[in-house]
Structure 1
């Protein structure tokens, strides 16, 4: 049974309760055949001391989005997803508004996945480019 777009978004956002994603106010806002998008507000909760978006918060957003998109495309009754490695190149700074992370697959294997995650601001400026490797492992082993 295929879930509707609305059902996937609701399920993803429900899964964020009582997690880092809720702490950072990350919200999944769009999803398609090969991508997922989430947004995060840029405010003092995610700033570094000089008032700019913290790179660690950006990396947390990117890993959250990448893990979610990997999770959506596996049989979660049989497998779970874990992050293996994340890299982030920060290109531009942000003081306020929202940042949006869009994760797409570069490789979607049975065991490992490689995702490209582009983080943009409200004006669609490229803020960070991230790569995330994930692994799907069997639950009952």
Structure 2
């Protein structure tokens, strides 16, 4: 396992997910993103490092399809087009919350490094983008 920076695709596990998405048939890509998110949420004990990294990368892909999301343009992310992923928003938000939680090897692993706060800020930004948008307000007629 290697990490070289704090971004969602700045590690080997996320780069592997990007490669898997590129190699998958177009109709299977959304299912692969969903599987990465679901795997992180199925564990009842500690979220393992690799599962957490893949879930964060998948959540970044979902967030890139949401208002305020940042496009994934890194060379380590998928290069092939992805289908719309906005319907995975609630699942992605829960996966990021799990990655930030006390029972996550990601939190344990980053906590000792000077870049911990940068990493945490990036994940908190993902959470903000992935939160359900507020319901539309009705215009008041006068």
Both proteins in one fold, TM over 0.5:
no
Larger radius of gyration: 2
Instruction: Give the number of the structure with larger relative contact order, counting CA–CA contacts within 8 Å between residues 6 or more apart.
Output: 2
User: Normalized per residue, which structure has more helix?
Assistant: 2
TM-score of the two chains, using structure 1 as the length reference: 0.29
TM-score of the two chains, using structure 2 as the length reference: 0.29
